[in-house]
Structure 1
Amino acid sequence: MTLEELMPRISGDKAASYYIANVLREAIYRGILQENEQLLQNQLAARMGVSPIPLREALKQLEIEGLVEFRGRRGAIVSGLSLEDAREIYDMITWLEVGIMKVSFDLISNALIQEEEVLLDRMEKEEDPVKWRDMNVLFHSSLYEPADRPMTLDML
């Protein structure tokens, strides 16, 4: 799959920079954009048919997420993730998840539990790891929403 083939699959209902970040994030997760690959902004903007300004904003967002690094005059590159970095990320996520679930637990409805059971059944049958990941995010996000903690949800 190429970046151009991936683009129509990503929802474009948000601001341009969010859409671009979603496409690039997915391309990194799928290995379309490889670790240490240089991301030439003018070429990337042309390939995606977007303007350089929202592309740069998207790359800055991916930098915050640790998926992209800016290296002086070399511009942006796809980051690598060390084992230690991965462990720290999972520790942070775990701490946030435990905290938000403490708030959310008593607010989860029976209807939500039934919806989550259906989603879990779909997840068990899903073979595409990226689609499974998206369903996993939806599963967890649905459980966190009753806590009404938007900043925590953004961090997660």
Structure 2
Amino acid sequence: MEKSIDSTADAVAARLRQAIAEGDLPDGTRLVERDLASRFAVSRIPLREALQKLAFEGLVEIHKNRGAVVRTLDAADLDEIYRLRMLLEGDAIYRAVPNLSAETLARAELVHRLLGEAGTREKQGELNREFHALLYAPCGNRQQLKVIWELRNQVERYERLQETLLAQTQAFQLEHAQILAACQAGNARLARAATVAHLRSARRLVAGASAPRTPGQPVAP
């Protein structure tokens, strides 16, 4: 029974995580247990466990009197997360480069090409995650990779939901090409520097898009 509850909780957590990333559950949304239990056709026990998982990941806040809400990240939160990502992802690719196989590099090159052809935010987000996952995995530190993806999950909604993201595809593709070229050359230092620069670009995009604007003011590139 306990394994069944854990499995159901994991499945519900995955669906909630996706709904938050895609903007179906925007920042500040109250997560009413009764409504969510009906929506996912589950009992409240695995639902509560799923909410606890997301709270641990930083996606949800649980308040004693208000219940659970989708966590809102302010500018300071975003800055802290991106600084951590630069450290962890830069280190991950630095350690991974000596262990990258020809097969992995070929797969990363294919994903890079497909990413340039992606026509939706959803497909772009899926391929972007795969590109980085392929290049980080050989770092050999499972706990580090786990933290990297938890941090990515926290900010993914801000990256994916900006209308400017698809417009920035060419710039991001150039940055991905630089990362991939450094990996193919076996240059770990250059791969780390290119990865950190890529994350700085993403941070600037999110900062420009999430900054307060007057009506009619365009999103900064």
TM-score normalised according to structure 2 size: 0.61
Q: Which residue among 57, 69, 75 is the counterpart of 1:65?
A: 57
| Structure 2: distance between partners of 1:146 and 1:130 | 26
Kindly provide the amino acid, as one letter, of the partner of residue 14 in structure 2: N
Q: Distance in 2 between matches of 1:28 and 1:82?
A: 16
Aligned with 2:65: secondary structure? helix
Mark the structure with the bigger radius of gyration. Answer: 2
Contact 1:29 1:130 in 2 (8 A): no
Match of 1:17 in 2: 9
| More contact order relative to length (CA 8 Å, sep ≥ 6) | 2
Deviations 1:48-76 (A, max 9, x none): 11121221121112112222111112100
Give the ranges of 4+ consecutive aligned residues of structure 1 lying more than 2 Å apart after TM superposition.
none
Q: Which residue of 2 aligns with 1:146?
A: 138
The match for 1:53 is 45
* Aligned 1:124-135 pairs, distance under 5 A: 124-135=116-127
Unaligned runs of 5+ in 1: 1-13
**Percent of matched pairs sharing the same residue:** 33
TM-fit CA distance, 1:27: 0.9
Contact 1:36 1:78 in 2 (8 A): yes
Contact 1:41 1:55 in 2 (8 A): yes
**Unpaired segments of 5 or more residues in structure 2?**
1-5, 149-221
Greater Cα shift, 130-139 or 21-30? 130-139
**AA of the residue aligned to 1:146:** P
Say yes or no: does 1:155 pair with 2:147. yes
Name the count of aligned residue pairs.
143
> Which residue identity does 1:21 align to in structure 2?
A
For residue 149 of structure 1, what is the amino acid of its counterpart?
Answer: N
Residues 22-66 of structure 1 deviation map (CA, whole Å, 9 limit, x = unaligned)? 111111122211221111112201111112122112111211222
